[in-house]
Structure 1
């Protein structure tokens, strides 16, 4: 059973790999395959029935005319020229009599269906030895019949043995097939177009871009149902994001108000070691609250716009270089894509901050790789153990267990960066850097 299953699996995979990948191609195949099978069956019926019948009748007609001519020559041998002239005019047979000739003693070679049917007709009607030369049957066919003391040479025009209905049938069959194929292609293209529009809208929405506002459900009932379900889903998601953003804006205001009062009261107390320590704690609390709200807010209501990613990366690198960070930036030409600029800056900014915190040198690269855009952030720090790299993306997860903000932050930087990357339809991967530290690879679809 093992070899049989393996063979069946190979056949199944071969058939599957040969099938069209698109819905349009598969639908056309469903329409065309029965059409091809119908044409094959029709051709078989035609050649097995019609072609044999027509060819037999034509062959029998020629054999009957030859038998009639031989009978006339036997009854009135003196009127040979008149008989040949009448046959040439009325039966389109060019006949000559070769006196004293004898056919070679060999069987007629049957090389085609026409030869077989014509030989059968000659045996039934003429009943004399004969030779068939059908080497150029479409133009003419030569028959030699052995008489008593001569050989009757008959040149039969191809039109008397070859029917043009074969070509007419084939042309009609191919022509109707092409017309049906064209009609089916147009119909299926119109049916597939709404599905493609829906796929583009879903892809755009998945990359954080707003779908077409005038997106209209079209096509078959099932396609319209899917489009309506997508419209309802996208509207619910946008409404949820708006509600979350509005709620967090209110929370941000409520939390900042007491912090502002505390900072004002500390400023009024004067400059002392106690107030300085409290001021540092309040600043740290403010930063932590800001990070928490940023993570909870996500991308918020920012719209995607088409912009040059290289310029965004270079501008961000210049800001860090101006702050004294050793950063080497390289962007490969102009990279135009759809981005939420502020969210994307926050994503790369967090990665650079993480790299600069643990390494003395940071490398930033951006370029196109196949059908994606890659941004690489490398450092020469200690890196992250491979078994902890996925955990590093968890909210509030810190490699520094002391939770000291000066050494490890709040543990939300990588979480925010991955959230932003996924909002753009991309992903972030952590790898070992060729410089010895950590490499953060951001991949965005083009």
Structure 2
């Protein structure tokens, strides 16, 4: 069965049409056409039998020639006797329609003698050779006396009307399906975080209704995302004020050997909180403003690798050249950087790679660290839950948000290096 709506609809329309036309053709062929064809063939066979009976009344050549002349004049049958000849075998060639079968049945019924028919040598005539005791009778019968013009007219009408209706249905359904395909493409692009203009409703009423509903849904989601991003950015920004006061208060504390370690720990916690807020604030702002554009993923991964190496990470890079995707570059750079930072905190060696697989691109971050148990790999994507000591709990969550906004997915697996593999799948 066709998988597309266009193919299935055309099949639903075409199959009943063909069945009805076939039934009509069979009824016409089996009743009217068959009856007329049998009568015409029987008339030819009867005229041949009548001519042969007249020829046998007088064997003189003059009478024979006169009878053959009358047969041609009255019946339009050209006849010629070959005295003493014997009929040779002749391969029969079937032609469209019932004419040849009905004529063969009529000749068999009238004469019970061997005969041959040639429907292909002469387009205007049928060449019949009949074996008689006196010899072989050659008969040239006009094809128009056997041909039924209404059969081909009816057959042409059936085929032509079916093709015409099919073409009209195909054009109409293609226009309807085009609107559905446009809606599907827009929904897919919007799901990948790309800027999609409102769809112009067209096609059937149901398709127009779906397009209008998609436009309203798109506007509501954009409004919700905008409000959420502004709220998170505002909260993150407002949290900086008390953190700054805490940092200042810690810096203003008088020197005290007993409290030195506690103050240092508290200062480190404040700095960690500031980094968390700065990262989430940058993510929220970028999510709101950045649009997806064609980006060289190879160059982006080179930049991430260079940044990790400058931080002292032993990192190997394996990416194909000129790998280009439609991405929000800053957001994707942040997601991959988060994964690399998470790996280098718990490992001595990190491997970053990318490859094309079918209609997707796979980006992998491998490390040789302790890894994460399989039963905990999904939970570490929840905000503020770290996969191992030393994490802030937001890196993986932000990375998954960014990847999913591009229509992709991120998974954690066992790494060939012995630690953890973070695999990003992005649609091409």
Pairing partner for 2:116 from 133, 136, 140: 133
Aligned to 1:311: 299
Cα distance, 1:146 vs structure 2? 5.5
Per-residue CA deviation, residues 319-355 of structure 1 (Å, 9 max, x unaligned), is 1111211111122111211112222112111110111
Change (3 A) 1:247 1:114: closer
Distance 1:59 1:95 in 2: 17
Aligned to 2:247: 263
**Cα contact 2:233–2:284 (8 A) shared by 1:** no
SS where residue 291 of structure 2 aligns? coil
Aligned to 2:385: 397
With 128-137 and 250-259 compared, the bigger mean Cα shift is at: 128-137
Cα distance, 1:441 vs structure 2? 0.6
**Cα contact 1:333–1:367 (8 A) shared by 2:** no
**Cα contact 2:283–2:331 (8 A) shared by 1:** no
**Cα contact 2:76–2:142 (8 A) shared by 1:** no
Aligned to 1:340: 328
Change (3 A) 1:62 1:278: closer
Aligned to 2:356: 368
Distance 2:332 2:81 in 1: 100
Distance 2:366 2:315 in 1: 10
Give TM-score scaled by structure 1 length: 0.81
**Cα contact 2:287–2:331 (8 A) shared by 1:** yes
Cα distance, 1:80 vs structure 2? 3.7
**Cα contact 1:291–1:410 (8 A) shared by 2:** no
Distance 1:92 1:325 in 2: 104
**Cα contact 1:95–1:152 (8 A) shared by 2:** no
Change (3 A) 1:288 1:145: closer
Cα distance, 1:114 vs structure 2? 5.1
Give TM-score scaled by structure 2 length: 0.84
Change (3 A) 1:330 1:96: closer
Aligned to 2:230: 246
**Cα contact 1:138–1:162 (8 A) shared by 2:** no
SS where residue 134 of structure 1 aligns? strand
Pairing partner for 1:55 from 10, 14, 37: 37
Change (3 A) 1:131 1:428: same
Pairing partner for 1:196 from 174, 177, 181: 181
Aligned to 1:353: 341
Cα distance, 1:270 vs structure 2? 7.4
- Contiguous gaps of at least 5 residues in structure 1: 1-18, 401-406
Q: How does 1:410-421 map to 2 (within 5 A)?
A: 410-421=392-403
With 256-265 and 432-441 compared, the bigger mean Cα shift is at: 256-265
Distance 1:145 1:306 in 2: 85
Cα distance, 1:222 vs structure 2? 0.9
Per-residue CA deviation, residues 31-72 of structure 1 (Å, 9 max, x unaligned), is 211222123223322321233122122113213433553565
Pairing partner for 1:232 from 216, 232, 244: 216
Query: Is 2:288 the counterpart of 1:279?
Result: no
Query: Is 2:209 the counterpart of 1:221?
Result: no
**Cα contact 1:368–1:374 (8 A) shared by 2:** yes
Distance 1:271 1:334 in 2: 57
Aligned to 2:374: 386
Per-residue CA deviation, residues 286-309 of structure 1 (Å, 9 max, x unaligned), is 234445667888934432222111
- Contiguous gaps of at least 5 residues in structure 2: none
Per-residue CA deviation, residues 327-384 of structure 1 (Å, 9 max, x unaligned), is 1112211121111222211211111011101100111012211110111101111111
SS where residue 332 of structure 1 aligns? coil
SS where residue 26 of structure 1 aligns? helix
With 68-77 and 177-186 compared, the bigger mean Cα shift is at: 68-77
Cα distance, 1:279 vs structure 2? 3.3
Matched residue pairs, number?
A: 411
Pairing partner for 2:128 from 119, 124, 142: 142
Distance 1:275 1:397 in 2: 25
SS where residue 284 of structure 1 aligns? helix
Aligned to 2:191: 206
Change (3 A) 1:60 1:264: same
SS where residue 137 of structure 2 aligns? strand
